[in-house]
Amino acid sequence: MSNATRTFTVAVVGATGAVGETMLSILAERDFPVGKLIALASARSAGGTVDFKGQKVDVLDLATFDPTGVDIALFSAGGGVSKEYAPKFAAAGAVVIDNSSTFRYDDDVPLVVSEVNPHAAKHRPRGIIANPNCSTMQLMPVLAPIHREYGITRVNVATYQSVSGAGRSGMEELGKQTAQLLAFQEIEPQKFQAQIAFNLIPHIDDFQPNGYTKEEMKLVWETQKILEDKSILVNPTAVRVPVFYGHSEAVNVETRKKLTPEAARALLAAAPGVEVVDEHKAGGYPTPVTHASGQDPVFVGRIREDFSHPSAINLWVVADNIRKGAALNAVQLAELVAAGG
C-alpha cells in the first residue's frame, strides 16, 4: 500500500490531559491518516470518553493495554509513564513520539523540531523520537535560520511560561486562586511553589547543583542538540507567569556575523513556522493572548539591535506552548514518520 493511502493505528497516551486532548484535535484538523485511534490514560479516567472527529472514543487503562498493532504512539502522560511504557510500545513495533524529558538527552534518541532538523527523525534505533520541551521548541524555528546564516555564539533568554505548561492542574490552580483572591479568601499553593495568581515564580522544575533549574538547563541541552552545535552558549532564566496559554521569551542572540534588524526580519519572515509581527505601535508585537493562543506559528516581534553589544540582536518570541510547544510538533513528527521519514 502506498503512503498516500495507508492508514495508521495511533495511540495517544495521556489522552485526557491538556496536551493529549490537543493532540487529538490536531490529528483531526490536519487530517492525519488515522485508521484506528486508541485513547489511553490512567485507571482514574478509564471508562470515560474523549472526542475525536466528532465521535466519542473510549478511554482505556494504559496499565492493562496490549500495544501490539499500534503503529505510532504519542506519549504525553509525564516522565514516569514514558519511562515505563514507551520502551514496551517500541518493543511491540510502534514508533513512539515522546513529549516527556525522559529520553531527550540520550544519544540514541533523536530530538526533533519538524521545521528544523527533520532528518534526525530517520535515525531512531530505539524506536523513540523525543519532542523538545515547550520553551526550547518555540525558540528553534527562530534560532535555526539565524545560526545557519550568521553563526550564533551565545543566547541569553528569559522565559515567561504559562500555567498550561504544568498541565490541566496548573490551569485549575490559576483559575481557583484568581477567584479566591478576588473574593478576599485565603489561597493555598498546591501545584506551584508559590502563589501564581497576580504573581510570577522564577522556579520551574527542580534546582540543579549549578543553581539553574532543570527547566532552564533543558534550554541549554536541547538547543545544542537540535542545532547540532555544542559550542552555542545558552544562559536561561525560566519564569512561570499567570497566563493560561502561550509562552513568551525575551531573547538576546549574539552572532559571529553581524545581523541587522532588517536582515533578521527578512530572514525570519521566510522561516517555516515563523510569523513576524513587528511594528512600532500599540499592539504591533505578539502577545500570548492576542496572537499565540490557539495558533500554530511561532510569532516574533520587538526585533532590535542590542546597542550594548557589537554583534547581538533582541527578539520577543511567543507561541502556544500546548500547540507548537507540544502537541502540534508531536503530530508533525508523526507526519514525518508516516511519510517514511
- Binding residues for ligand A2P (CB under 6 A): 14-18, 20, 41-42, 44-45, 62, 77-78, 81, 167-169
Q: Kindly tell me which of 45 and 159 has the beta carbon lying closer to ligand A2P.
A: 45
Q: Kindly tell me which of 17 and 145 has the beta carbon lying closer to ligand A2P.
A: 17
Q: Which of 123, 203, 247, 280 is catalytic?
A: 247
Q: Which of 123, 134, 147, 203 is catalytic?
A: 134
Given the DSSP bridges, would you call strands 8-13 and 72-75 parallel, antiparallel or unpaired?
A: parallel
What residues form DSSP beta bridges with 233?
Answer: 154
Minimum CB separation of residue 98 from ligand A2P in Å reads 13
Contacts of residue 301, Cβ cutoff 8 Å, sequence gap at least 6: 276, 277, 278, 284, 285, 286, 315, 316, 318
Q: Kindly tell me which of 22 and 223 has the beta carbon lying closer to ligand A2P.
A: 22
Q: Would residue 280 show up in a list of annotated catalytic residues for this protein?
A: no
| Sequential DSSP letters for 80-120 | HHHHHHHHHHHHTTPEEEE-SSSSTT-TTS-B--TTT-GGG
Q: Kindly tell me which of 78 and 341 has the beta carbon lying closer to ligand A2P.
A: 78
Q: What are phi and psi of 57, to 5 degrees?
A: -115, 130
Minimum CB separation of residue 113 from ligand A2P in Å reads 21
Q: What is the dihedral angle through the alpha carbons of 298, 285, 304, 281, rounded to the nearest 10 degrees? A: 160
Asked if residue 291 lies in contact with residue 226, where contact means CB atoms within 8 angstroms, the answer is no
Q: Would residue 291 show up in a list of annotated catalytic residues for this protein?
A: no
Name the packing angle between helices 18-29 and 328-338 (round to 10°): 50
Which residue's Cβ has the minimum distance to ligand A2P?
Answer: 17
Minimum CB separation of residue 220 from ligand A2P in Å reads 24
Minimum CB separation of residue 78 from ligand A2P in Å reads 6
Catalytic residues: 134, 247
